[in-house]
Structure 1
Amino acid sequence: MRIGAHVDATDPLDEAALRKADAVQFFLADPQGWKAPQPRADAALLRGSEVDVYIHAPYVINLATTNNRIRIPSRKLLLGHAGAAAEVGAKGLIVHGGHVNAGDDLTVGFDNWRKAFAQVAESGGHGVPVFIENTAGGDNACARRFDNLARLWDAVGEYGVGFCLDTCHAHAGGEDLLDIVDRVKAITGRIDLIHANGSKDSFDSGRDRHDNLANGTIDPDLVVEVVRTAGAPVIVETPGGVDGQATDIAYLRDRVGR
């Protein structure tokens, strides 16, 4: 099983070595901004490395919204990040599920997702697998509650989109981890990546604050069981820098094989 961490983008391979990680995830641009990613001098090293690379798209991307000033630039930005992710040999590009504004029809949000993927499919696809990630908060979210996730998958599943399951987001979003792998696979048919995170906040809090696996409000045995049963690569997005993440990686390696 490949287990790694979300790291600073400056020197991801060095960060992987410090954590004894099999994989890294990082941003290619400001996660809160709209700037396109720039070519990386280490692209060939990343492509040729034994370390698996995953790219997280900026948080500002929202393909569901009815606001044209956000949705249309979001499509362009996601496509740009997909191209840049392919350049570094990424195994996947992770993007959040998005939301509509209060009072808007969520059905329109799902259709906006469908239109975005259909448009790209007509021009040859994203060039890298895109994984939609479940989110922690929002009453108008497309991928917080799994009844909405099912509607989202009805809209985009035919385009080969992947799924990233975040344990903190599920817990904070009100989805029990106990049988979550079976429930997700019943909807999506797949789990391509696990974000194995603890949570600082309570079940169904709607708050996205990660914690280390041995801390917080999630029973770490539940996270271990998610990782074991999903059989997918794992990224920890936990605090504590090198020491905190290396501890979480070692924790999972030690327990998943039991």
Structure 2
Amino acid sequence: MRIGAHVRNSENPLGEAEDLDVDLLQLFLTDPQKWNKPVVGSGLEAVRDSAVDIVVHSSYVINVASLNNRIRIPSRKAVAQQAEVAAEVGALGLVVHGGHVRDGEDPAEGVANWRKLFERQAESGGFAVPIWIENTAGGDFAMARRFDAIARLWDAVGEFGAGFCLDTCHAWAGGEDLVDAVERAKAITGRIDLVHLNNSRDEFDSARDRHANLESGEIEAEVLAAVAAAADAPVMLETPADGMKDDVAYLRSL
């Protein structure tokens, strides 16, 4: 099992990864709450020049599914830009949240927007790194909260080689049983490229995306460990920083 962590120190991500004793790291390329164009600073240069494998998490503001042109169009541009920089720093893939449409809007149109993203990029040779779509925790009009919605999304984008990132907190909060989540996800997508292994501070089907450390949340730690083992994919921790070292130690103890 390859164990990684989302690092928060953009100036010295390699130092943080070394301190946590992880095999790979995940990071943002720019402020995740803004539309800023990503640039390769000194921290990313060090990552690029190292032997450490990395995953890039796209900005939170991105919503490819949106029917609002002011959100969807810059989202498409941001995914392409961040994929290009992710390739420049040697990333394995770019994680992108499934996104959503607004209440009352047709989710099928959001799915169609996802397909258009891949179709348009394919015309120029495809994305610079694999795009891994991540399941999300809340919203009745989300593209990737429930597994039946993920199935509809994959019918539209699977042919383009879209990858899948399974987040355990999101699945739990989204109302999906984790006991057979890996089996069901693989039956839909044919793959799991990355596991975001996070516990949840909130109850099952709460629709709340609040991560907890592996042994301190609402999900039994043994269930999380079983998901990590069954997925047969790299595991990335996005748990609270204060307990992340203990999370790494727990996984290594298994």
TM range (shorter): over 0.9
Q: TM-score normalised to the size of structure 2? A: 0.97
Shift of 1:240: 3.0
What is the distance in 2 between the residues matched to 1:42 and 1:71? Answer: 30
Matched, 1:35 2:40: no
Shift of 1:45: 3.4
Counterpart of 2:134?
Answer: 133
Q: Which amino acid aligns with 2:4?
A: G
What is the distance in 1 between the residues matched to 2:19 and 2:43? Answer: 18
Q: Which amino acid aligns with 1:91?
A: L
Counterpart of 1:253?
Answer: 252
Counterpart of 2:209?
Answer: 208
Counterpart of 1:190?
Answer: 191
What is the distance in 2 between the residues matched to 1:42 and 1:248? Answer: 25
What is the distance in 1 between the residues matched to 2:160 and 2:83? Answer: 15
Q: Is the 8 A contact 1:137 1:206 kept in 2?
A: yes
Q: Is the 8 A contact 2:13 2:43 kept in 1?
A: no
- Listed one character per residue, the Cα deviations across residues 175-209 of structure 1 (whole Å, up to 9, x for unaligned) are 00000100000000000000000100000000000
Percent identity of equivalent pairs: 59
Shift of 1:40: 2.5
What is the distance in 2 between the residues matched to 1:199 and 1:42? Answer: 30
Q: Which amino acid aligns with 1:188?
A: T
Q: Structure 2: 5+ residue runs without aligned partners?
A: none
Matched, 1:123 2:124: yes
Structure 1 vs Structure 2 CA RMSD: 1.0
Counterpart of 2:84?
Answer: 83
What is the distance in 2 between the residues matched to 1:33 and 1:43? Answer: 19
- Residue 127 of structure 1 aligns to a residue whose secondary structure is coil
What is the distance in 2 between the residues matched to 1:132 and 1:173? Answer: 16
What is the distance in 2 between the residues matched to 1:43 and 1:207? Answer: 31
Q: Which amino acid aligns with 2:3?
A: I
What is the distance in 2 between the residues matched to 1:150 and 1:128? Answer: 23
Counterpart of 1:217?
Answer: 218
Q: Which amino acid aligns with 2:100?
A: H
Q: Which amino acid aligns with 1:28?
A: L
Counterpart of 1:168?
Answer: 169
- Residue 50 of structure 1 aligns to a residue whose secondary structure is coil
Q: Which amino acid aligns with 1:121?
A: A
Q: TM-score normalised to the size of structure 1? A: 0.96
